[in-house]
Amino acid sequence: MIQESVKIKDVAQHAGVSSATVSRVLGNKPHVKEDVRDRVLESVKALGYRPSRIAQSLRTQKSKVIGLIVSDIQNSFFTAIVRAVEDVASEQGYGVFLCNTDENPEKEQFYVDLLLDERVAGIVMVPTREQDTPCKEIIHSGTPLVVVDRRVLDVEVDTVLTDNREASSKLVKALIAQGHTSIAAVLPDLRITTGRERHLGMLDALAEANIAMDEDNLYIGPPTAEAGYALTRKLLAKKVLPTALFVGTKYMCLGALKAFHEADIRFPEDITLAAFDKLDMLPYKPNFIYAEQPTYDLGESAVKLLMEKIENPSKTIQFITLSSRLNI
Amino acid sequence: MIQESVKIKDVAQHAGVSSATVSRVLGNKPHVKEDVRDRVLESVKALGYRPSRIAQSLRTQKSKVIGLIVSDIQNSFFTAIVRAVEDVASEQGYGVFLCNTDENPEKEQFYVDLLLDERVAGIVMVPTREQDTPCKEIIHSGTPLVVVDRRVLDVEVDTVLTDNREASSKLVKALIAQGHTSIAAVLPDLRITTGRERHLGMLDALAEANIAMDEDNLYIGPPTAEAGYALTRKLLAKKVLPTALFVGTKYMCLGALKAFHEADIRFPEDITLAAFDKLDMLPYKPNFIYAEQPTYDLGESAVKLLMEKIENPSKTIQFITLSSRLNI
DNA sequence: CTGTTAGCGCGTTCAA
DNA sequence: TTGAACGCGCTAACAG
């Protein structure tokens, strides 16, 4: 039984008023007599009327939907961002249009076009690249935009980041504070901003302590568990092991743990580990030093900033940086 | 520099034709002369024209957006579903409107209303409850609906499920085939359909092998890692341990592993484990028997079914059941 | 306080 | 093959 969609006119007729009055009542506008208002609300309920947000959007030229573009919906890091955006948006009566780019610039472009066609009120986006991003297009269209987690270089845009360099530095400093001087590192390659910054943070800490980084102890590869595993195995094959290991990404760390496990290396007994993320999906609590990333906060800040921009488009560009929390 | 949004009329003027012709060209309708078509396309590109999907929706009374309601966007099970829905939808030019209910019926209701107001083309939904669901409302509105992963009892609706009972039965049968007769079970409580079905599957297998279930070996609680941990500890406190353990959910299994780890119980040496999901986030590959859930397929089937219903609303109700794959 | 009117941007008749 | 005119459902300006 498909019910004929009931429109504002039907409600008006049912309540014996004009559609303008119905609109006023539903929009909580003033200048409506109490009894009329009640009568209208009754009719609304009686007919099961639901205003079409499509028609509203067309008329008012603004929608109550925000676009969210992430690079990997299966990665718990972004999942936390999605969740935060969802929470804040729904609180404000906004819906969320979700797009997953899979780190693929073509899909990213596809979705940007789609969101612009949908005339979303604003966009929160994790860009796939730092250059040639579709950010220009978005800004050019006049749609408010906030970029999260990664920088873009080709255009000035509101951005919310974690301070990877500082977090990385804090981690290595913690190792140094424990007396370690022989520190190895498994890092993501430097094409990715995040990797570069974490590398720099490490160097900051070492420089401050006047410790020279042994190039031999630097292992670099893609930010995957596989690479983390392979690199750590390579490290473990050395005759004399460093006393501490700094691992640059969560997935690499999982790989490193696997290598440790296989080689029956225990930590912190045999080697001290410092890494990102708390790995709380593990059945045991690994005994290591980690920087807890403010993932939810990242999304929350981003979407709140976006909301501000939606309401007040004249705001100037902002750069927000969030710190990680160190757990020892 | 906010660019004034360019509309179909602007394109028409620029190309020296009427807006109707532009519409025809963009809609790939016939009866347009080649040169006119080319001229229009040029103007479209020159002006950077993007048709408003809002206006299109209002005019045609159909949108190219589907709603997706899941109960926990942070759970990898649902994340796989989200991903599948995304993939298929974007392939067909549809956008996805994501809603996270957090297992909260009120949020579920809120989102259902939102999606209906947005006049989405269809909805894929993981319901929070089996009764009093907003499904009735959706169907009543005439919006195509497909329910995933869980049953709803109060209304007939297209549904895509995994066969939990069969998977559970296969797992326990595998244990029996290995010669186990003393089998303990850590199961989610029976309020949840999934839990009930997995319980039944276990009983099926035991009955078929003429093995009586020892009530003492049955541990039941909420489907969380905490509960899995606590229940397994209780189990491990017994004087004589069973030779095998069947765990009913992924998170409970993580808890069980933690308890094992702490008690220094090794598997399969000390006890054989059979559980759901492959736990591939672990740094080591646990040596256990598991049923791999077809999570992606679940989402894929659901959204494909939804697409069919959108195109052909007269289709009859379907019940699709997917099997898990057993890994030993 | 309320109703009438005029579009929002587009697709789709109907005539030409 | 094309264009003029209408209306999708709603809100906002104006008039009463």
Tokens 């269809």 map to which residue? B122
Chain A CB contacts of B281 under 8 Å are 254, 281-282
Segment B40-47 mean pLDDT: 94
Which residues make Cβ contacts (< 8 Å) with residue A222, sequence separation at least 6? Answer: A188, A189
Q: Quote the pLDDT of residue A3.
A: 55
Separation in Å: C15 C1' and B20 CA: 14
Q: Name the residue facing A54 among B54, B114, B115 (closest C-beta).
A: B54
> For residue B27, which nucleotide's C1' is closest to its Cα?
C11
For the CA atoms of B195, B201, B204, B208, the dihedral, rounded to the nearest 10 degrees, stands at: -140
A95 touches chain B (CB under 8 A): yes
Phi, psi of B311, deg, nearest 5:
-80, -30
Asked if B73's CB is within 8 angstroms of A95's CB, the reply is no
Q: What is the pLDDT of residue B267?
A: 81
CA of B23 to C1' of C2 (A): 39
Q: Give per-residue pLDDT as tens, A200-227.
A: 999 999 999 999 888 888 999 999 889 9
pLDDT digits (tens, 9 = 90+) for A223-281: 988 999 999 999 999 888 899 999 999 999 999 998 998 888 888 888 999 999 888 77
Q: How far is B105 from chain A (nearest CA, A)?
A: 15
Give chain B positions within 8 Å (CB) of A265: none
Convert the pLDDT of each residue in B167-180 to its tens digit.
999 999 999 999 99
A23/C3 CA-to-C1' distance in Å = 12
Mean pLDDT estimate for chain A: 92
Tell me, yes or no, if B9 comes closer than 8 A to chain A by beta carbon: no
Chain C nucleotides covered by protein, CB below 7 Å = 1-5, 7-13
Q: Tell if A18 CB is < 7 Å from nucleic strand C.
A: yes
Average pLDDT over every residue of A318-322: 96
Q: Is B280 exposed, middle or buried (0-12, 13-18, 19+ CB in 10 A)?
A: exposed
Q: What per-residue confidence (pLDDT) applies to A315? A: 77
pLDDT in tens, B259-316: 988 888 888 888 999 999 888 778 777 789 999 999 999 999 999 999 999 998 877 8
Predicted pLDDT of residue B269: 86
What are phi and psi for residue B31, nearest 5 degrees? 65, 45
List domains and CATH numbers for chain B.
Answer: 8-51 (1.10.260.40), 61-156+295-327 (3.40.50.2300), 164-292 (3.40.50.2300)
- For chain B, positions 171-230, list CB contacts with chain A under 8 A: 225
Q: Please state the rounded mean pLDDT for residues A24-39.
A: 91
> Is the Cβ–Cβ distance between B327 and B280 less than 8 Å?
no
Question: In Å, what is the separation between the CA of A59 and the C1' of C6?
Answer: 12
Q: Which nucleotides of D are covered by protein (CB under 7 A)?
A: 1-5, 7-13
